[in-house]
Structure 1
Amino acid sequence: MPASNVDFQECKQTIKEAHGARLLDILNADRKSRQILCDGKLCCKGKNYFVHKCVLSSFSDYFKTMFRTEMREKYEDAIILDRISHDRLKVILDYLYTGYVEVTADNVFNLLEDAEYAQIEELKRHCSKYLLEMITVENCLRVRAYSKRYNLPEALEKCNLTFADDYMLLFNHEDFGNLEVDDIADLIKNKKRECSEYSVFCAIVRWVRKDIASREELFADLFMLIDLSKVSDDLLNEIRVEELVRNNIQCSNRLVDLLGERILLPAPDLVCSPSGNVAEFDGVITQPSFVLIGGRASSCQCGIYDTKTHQYRSLPMLSHPRYAAAAVTVGEKLLAIGGSSFHTFFTASHKQVELLDLNRPDCWKTLQNLNEPRRALAATVIDGLVYACGGRSYSTFYSSCEKYDIQADRWNSITDMAKRRAYHAVVQLDGSLFCIGGHDGKITLASCESYDLQKDSWATFNDMNDSREGLAAVVLDGKIYAIGGFNGTRQVATVEAYDPRTDEWSYVAPLNVVRSRHGACVVDGKIYVAGGYDNKSAPLRSVEVYDTTNNKWTVEFDLVKANLLISLVAV
């Protein structure tokens, strides 16, 4: 039975392909051994590769132009290539002779670069197909950059779609800071899902600050791409105090117009209670009270809670956001130390320190900066000197400590702690400084250490029963109380007290609500604990009070708003 015309054509094509492959096999073997038929030599970084100009020019437009036009290389036997390494050139030559290369996550970007250099479109297509399979949220920024550089439209489109699945992870990615301004603008314009506009603002600020000398002038154009109408009142206040915004008249005017429309900012001399009553601030701090500073919900705000009436009265706005900051009082002076802005919490911390005179609480005064930028630090006061210990900035956790002399307005370093610590607690008892728990960048700590002022040295004391980070600690009746926190697995309600006479920790009554990253202080002989995270990582409003006479915690009232990573100071 005669073969069909289709079968004949398929057979003919198979023979043709096999013949071509056989020819390339012969030439490939020739260049690797005897070089009888070779008519060119590529010289690269001290290595020589014999080649056939007809093969190179058939599959590479770069060599096609070199050998088929009147370039000098057309007539030279030895051609110098110095823009590619010899081992990568070997891979390219193997591909030109065999049509095969193993594309992997380790070599795909090098292959793309070399394929672009040698103008090998088929190799670029192979790489593009591989990239389409490997794109994830974690690598899409890098893949997108190469896709845009080497004109790979399918890979570029998939990267853009991948971004839409998790813009928050994208904005916090380590490669985000390496993008060009046009890339940033494209990402903002092409958001395909709901994404917090405040998160967009935070990402822009981080990107600009990575190279502020050359990028600050680009900030305004990116800022104008943010839909501020979707930003809450509290977060607009966070944006308002950002230095990049304040230093740019275009950005400031836009924000002022929007704030004016909302009549957002209350007068600083007004006070309010949780019930919403408003009264004039009379400049008198009632007793007993505590001051709440900063936190996630209102990092630039500061106010006083009367523990008897539960009334809240606002104090002047802080000059700098105080998220995960520390606060202490030296006499009638209230100090806010370190911390970060909400939008820089996962990156930079700051050094700024400021003071509010509680006798005349009209404005905050700038003091000498810390020596190190710190957030999630802890601080206390001994003999009129402020001690700031540990903390973190970016991914660095500190063991370093420094002390501040308010009269000299100067910070000086003291001996480092034995452990790196952030999200820990520091208290003073009988003239010594005690540092408790925290996180060292790897694990949650149960360990504790004390600082001897006279010897300028640290010594360990007995571990807590529970590991704790994000705890609060206070001193009452000669004992240290470690309250709540995160034990490495979950938020806890447990509380334990340390007796320095026996060097022992013992449990007391637990909190009513599990919480971590809260604030605590002693007012009128009772322990007050406010805010923090609950067991679902939701911020808390409740204020609990501990009475040592009956070993009992009572939920007494609520903060004006839920908050965490706050500073609480008795006044």
Structure 2
Amino acid sequence: MDPPAVEVFQYKDEEQSSNLLLQLNALRRENILTDVSLCSDDTEIPCHRNVLVSSSPYFRAMFCSNFLERHQAKIYLKGIASSVLSSIIDYVYTGVISISIGVVLPLMQAASMLQYGRLFEACSGFLQEQLSPDNCLSMIRLSEILNCNSLRAKAKEMAVRSFSDVSASEDLRELSLPELMGYLEDDSLCAEEEQVFETLVAWIHHDPLARRGAISDLFMKVRLRYIHPTYLFQFIANDPLIQSSTLCTELIESVRRLMFSVSSKCSGDAAAEIKPWVAPRRYSYQDMLVVVGGRKNNEQTSRETLVFDEKSGKWQWLAKLPIRLYKASYVALHSVLYVLGGLTTNTKHSPVSASTYTLSLKTNQWRTAEPMLEPRFAHQSVSYLRFIFVLGGLGPDRRLTSSVERYDSMFNQWELVSPMPEAVLHPAVAATNQRIYVFGGEDAMQNPVRMIQVYHTARNMWSKMESRTVKNVSAPAVILDDRVYIIGGYTRRVIAYDTKANHFVKCANLKERRMHHSATVLNHKLYVTGGRCINGHDVVEDLDNFECYDPKADTWTCQGALPYKLFDHGCLTLTHISHTWAKS
């Protein structure tokens, strides 16, 4: 049987349209069938009306409506240089044009006038490639003159993302008050609040007579809650501009009363009255999970510092600790990582240290800070408000101590506070609602202590209560959703303690009996790193685990692994500006 005949065959010539343009351009260059000339300066460019009408709404309106130009053989285009017009006509017939920094602006203006939208956006794209922190504010001005939304959006994005560099430019000093206010109140601004304040001060000093009165309006845009208290009360509060404004000085005093009050809550009436305090943190602030120190692969004390990149799911290396410290304590305060005390294992006699080392993601450099009053190791540290509390541990004589000292970040001072009622080693420690909770641990004879010790931060007083539920040793504790989570500690148990109801809630178990691990909270979830476990054969194994607990689902999930096995380390959450943190 013969196959049925094809009734219709639709042929599509892929080269027809491009060849047609090439032929029309050849006709134009030979001045064949051209019926209009576009004139600029002393130059006449012969064209075909139908090609111009097909390429632009501007020419369509000119030649297809009742305008005088419809019947004219020569059209004079004012304000367009002949070289620019010639390039545009070449583009119309070929689809090709060269854009350079020398011609982009007149080309863009002509494309706007003649309504060549794609060419206009191509020029915008070229200018976007030239954007830098030095010129982005000028580009915004230019985009407003040209009414180019795409260029304005990209330039504004760069100005916000690179505000640290832009804030030092002369162009920023020339901004109007509403323009500067728009930047300072932008949630996506990539800048620390200290820099926001310094920017507004520099802007006012550029024209003090005209701008001095704007200080209170501008200062309201600074989110005071995210400023280091030392900077706030010792630098900002003493600035002459701030002192010249009654409203600004009242704001500073209100924040001072709030920070020195016993309440850590910022949602009450007192906090609500301070708008710069309750303003949310900017989108550019990003929380990062950092792992530091500890015992690496059970070989030696580690100097490594790692940060976890959530987007790539990989670990990145930061600057190394200056020295090896065995069983130091680790805590974060004001987006700074503190490493406190420990045994200095890279010396012959391994002395007990009172040293304090600090690291910020912004600089990625370790610095020494005010040392503790007492050398100690195997101790616990916790931050609360502007303080760091260091509890117990072993002293220079290797004996268990109950002493507690407190670091005030505002005044850079250490002081001893009331000691713990019971000296314990390796308890779980957490601070919330004006109290520090010390759960369990073990005594000098290595017996588990089934007790909760509570320190009232405002009263400098301790209390204690027996609890049969508490039996953790070498377990971390974290605060999440107003509960204290105690994770493992020679057990698989995870329990959440409701401090107000004095009630424990059982959570999903760990997969192994884990101890000497570390934990932190990131984006409303609980993360656990490393540690040691006791396997089914009662053998102790080091771990490189990296796991996450979701309190809403009450489930644990694996997040991959650490680059090496690790225990007795620090796992903390540090905040940084997403565009400025220093990678090694």
TM-score range, shorter chain: 0.3 to 0.5
What is the TM-score normalised by the length of structure 2? 0.46
What is the TM-score normalised by the length of structure 1? 0.47
